[in-house]
Amino acid sequence: MENVVVVDHPLVQHKLTQCRRVETETWQFRDLVEEITALLLYEAVRDITTAEIDLVTPVGPGKGRVISEAAPVFVAVLRAGLGMVPGALRLFPYARAGHIGLYRDHDTHVPVEYYCNLPPAINDVDCFLLEPMLATGGSASHAINVLKKAGVQKIKLLSLIAAPEGIKAIMQSHPDVKIYLASVDEKLNENAYIVPGLGDAGDRLFGTA
């Protein structure tokens, strides 16, 4: 699974464990998702292009490196992906953001698109799809199709937790997309929830349970 990176850093694992706990409150959950997203992104941009520049420190001339690529774009899958946006923008405050609204049909679990708003001219920029729970992979796969149709060529998927079924689905439908995760859990249950997972990420982020 060379296209799947599980970030097993102790900080990520500690924060994810707090997220999973049923007693973790909404305000804590939000902060944790934000922090985990920043840590996943830290790993996901390891290959970003930098350039050497001249600079002056208070002590004298020196050299440094700066990111030389165009600003990335973060695309949140509504609604739970919204919880990941602040963590991503914390690392790249100058980035742009898009939104793709999908809901899972209650009976079929098939994603239905109800909203799409992407920044212009994103063909050549790094695009990070933010989808906290990679369950069946249906929503993420649909969102990646939307991005590809918009001309996006460089897509990475950031999720907190994946089920093996979701990873398999993305690897089959989009083998070019690299996936960054904090955990691969055991399985999906009959309602397509990840087990043990953390419950409904949207409800836990927005207090709507």
> Which residues, in sequence order, are bridge partners of residue 178?
156
Tokens describing residue 207: 């207090």
Cβ-contact 184, 196 below 8 angstroms: no
User: Based on CB atoms, which residue is closest to ligand URA, 9 or 187?
Assistant: 187
User: Based on CB atoms, which residue is closest to ligand URA, 80 or 179?
Assistant: 80
d(CA 115, CA 99): 8
Q: Is 28 exposed, middle or buried (0-12, 13-18, 19+ CB in 10 A)?
A: middle
Q: How many residues bind ligand URA (CB under 6 A)?
A: 9
Q: Is 90 a catalytic residue?
A: no
User: Quick check: 179 binds ligand URA (CB under 6 A)?
Assistant: no
User: Quick check: 200 binds ligand URA (CB under 6 A)?
Assistant: yes
**What are the DSSP E strand ranges found in the chain?**
4-6, 50-57, 60-67, 73-78, 96-104, 111-117, 126-130, 133-134, 154-162, 178-184, 187-188, 194-195
User: Quick check: 160 binds ligand URA (CB under 6 A)?
Assistant: no
Q: Which of 39, 80, 144, 162 binds ligand URA (CB under 6 A)?
A: 80
User: Quick check: 143 binds ligand URA (CB under 6 A)?
Assistant: no
Active-site residue identified among 17, 24, 30, 104 = 104
User: Quick check: 206 binds ligand URA (CB under 6 A)?
Assistant: no
Q: Rule CB under 6 A: which residues touch ligand URA? A: 80, 133, 135, 193-194, 197, 200-202
What residues are annotated to the active site? 104, 108, 200, 203
